[in-house]
């Protein structure tokens, strides 16, 4: 554990970004470029999609990427609270605490970066639906132990898979690609840390405690995954949010995208006993499991 933390600290010192200076925020927005890769959008391939012009699809992509970024930001605020609470009893002289604080500092920069990026494109920071927003506050008090790092890992890794593809896509806005590149680089360390914490914190749990952790992980991930695309985004191109939501949930392309995003973290949870068969219904509802 300390060895991992020390390695991650060295890597952080070697390579980190400052989005304030590493992103050219004064660059003009090219309206012909996409906000995200169209094939990964929630309505791609549906009848509603067929009814949109290319300009409308690009507009929707700008709103959909803002929704995902704002939900990422919202979850970063929650995970920072969970991490800081976890650190309360930690040893301030040890590498473990030093790295965890470095990670919180990364997340502070990320949240600023996501917020600035949404503002740059002049679209709303949709965030999760209101009910989930309220529920999130409660979750930071309830989610403890391995489930906190397991849900951090799932949130980080689903976004990582999506951003790794997005950052290479030349059809996408350069600022959004750079935001993704910065995030991917720094999140690789966070995911290593999260996997380590999950394994460590699972040690010595009783059967009953494990069941609680399995439930908390599934419920937190359900909340995050289902919130990524706020249905209000559809109104930006004149689609009723309820119609858009219904079409997205039934869209085989979108379901495949969500499963692609969930593949790696869910395999990890399974290997570590955090995704038992009796929880699969919840995981399927999150769309991360087929």
226 binds Fe ion (CB under 5 A): no
Q: Which is nearer to Fe ion, 98 or 190 (CB)?
A: 190
Closest CB 247 distance from Fe ion, rounded Å: 30
* Alpha helices (H) along the chain: 2-14, 19-22, 47-50, 54-87, 95-120, 130-142, 146-166, 174-202, 207-227, 241-249, 252-271, 280-285
Q: Which is nearer to Fe ion, 192 or 215 (CB)?
A: 192
The string of DSSP codes covering 254-284 is HHHHHHHHHHHHHHHHHHTT-S-GGGHHHHH
Closest CB 189 distance from Fe ion, rounded Å: 8
Site string for Fe ion, 131-170 (x = CB under 5 A): -------------------------x--------------
- Going by C-alpha positions, the residue among 257, 92, 31 that lies closest to residue 158 is 257
Closest CB 126 distance from Fe ion, rounded Å: 18
The residue count for binding Fe ion (CB under 5 A) is 5
- Going by C-alpha positions, the residue among 27, 31, 25 that lies closest to residue 171 is 31
Considering only residues 255 to 284 of the shown chain, the ones binding Fe ion according to CB under 5 A are: none
177 binds Fe ion (CB under 5 A): no
What is the longest distance spanned by two Cα atoms in the chain?
60
Residues β-bridged to residue 172? 34
Query: Of 189, 190, 195, 245, which lies in the binding site for Fe ion, with binding defined by CB under 5 A?
Result: 190
* Among 12-20, 47-55, 181-189, 271-279, the segment contacting Fe ion (CB under 5 A): 181-189
Q: Which is nearer to Fe ion, 14 or 130 (CB)?
A: 14
181 binds Fe ion (CB under 5 A): no
Question: In this structure, what DSSP letter does residue 38 have?
Answer: G
* Among 190-198, 200-208, 218-226, 247-255, the segment contacting Fe ion (CB under 5 A): 190-198
195 binds Fe ion (CB under 5 A): no
189 binds Fe ion (CB under 5 A): no
Considering only residues 72 to 131 of the shown chain, the ones binding Fe ion according to CB under 5 A are: 107, 110
* Among 87-95, 112-120, 179-187, 265-273, the segment contacting Fe ion (CB under 5 A): 179-187
Residues β-bridged to residue 34? 172
Please check whether residue 228 is in contact with residue 257, taking contact to mean a CB–CB distance below 8 angstroms.
no
Q: Which is nearer to Fe ion, 196 or 231 (CB)?
A: 196
CA distances from 87 to 134, 156, 226 (A): 24, 20, 29
Compute the Cα dihedral for 153, 158, 162, 165 and give only its sign: positive
Helix (H, G, I), strand (E, B) or coil at 207: helix
Q: Which is nearer to Fe ion, 64 or 187 (CB)?
A: 187
Closest CB 16 distance from Fe ion, rounded Å: 12
Residues of the shown chain interacting with Fe ion in the complex, contacts defined by CB under 5 A: 107, 110, 156, 187, 190
């Amino acid at each position: 554990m300390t060895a991992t933390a020390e390695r991650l600290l060295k890597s952080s010192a070697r390579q980190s970004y400052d989005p304030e200076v590493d992103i050219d925020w004064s660059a003009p927005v090219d309206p012909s470029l996409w906000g995200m890769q169209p094939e990964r959008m929630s309505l791609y391939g549906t009848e509603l999609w067929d009814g949109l012009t290319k300009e409308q699809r690009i507009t929707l992509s700008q709103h959909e990427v803002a929704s995902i970024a704002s939900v990422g930001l919202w979850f970063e605020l929650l995970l920072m609270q969970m991490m800081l609470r976890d650190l309360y009893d930690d040893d301030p002289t040890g590498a473990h605490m030093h790295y965890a604080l470095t990670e919180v500092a990364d997340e502070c920069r990320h949240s600023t970066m996501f917020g600035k990026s949404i503002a740059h494109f002049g679209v709303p920071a949709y965030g999760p639906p209101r009910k989930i927003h309220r529920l999130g506050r409660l979750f930071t008090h309830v989610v403890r132990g391995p489930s906190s790092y397991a849900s951090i890992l799932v949130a980080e890794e689903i976004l990582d898979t999506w951003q790794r593809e997005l950052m290479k896509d030349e059809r996408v806005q350069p600022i959004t690609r750079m935001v993704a590149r910065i995030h991917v680089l720094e999140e690789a360390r966070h995911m290593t840390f999260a996997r380590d914490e999950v394994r460590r914190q699972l040690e010595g749990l009783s059967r009953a405690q494990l069941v609680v952790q399995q439930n908390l992980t599934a419920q937190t991930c359900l909340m995050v995954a289902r919130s990524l695309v706020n249905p209000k985004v559809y109104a930006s191109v004149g689609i009723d949010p309820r119609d858009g939501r219904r079409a997205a949930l039934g869209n085989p392309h979108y379901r495949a995208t969500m499963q692609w995003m969930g593949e790696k973290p869910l395999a990890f949870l399974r290997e570590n006993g955090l995704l038992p068969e009796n929880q699969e219904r919840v995981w399927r509802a999150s769309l991360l499991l087929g």
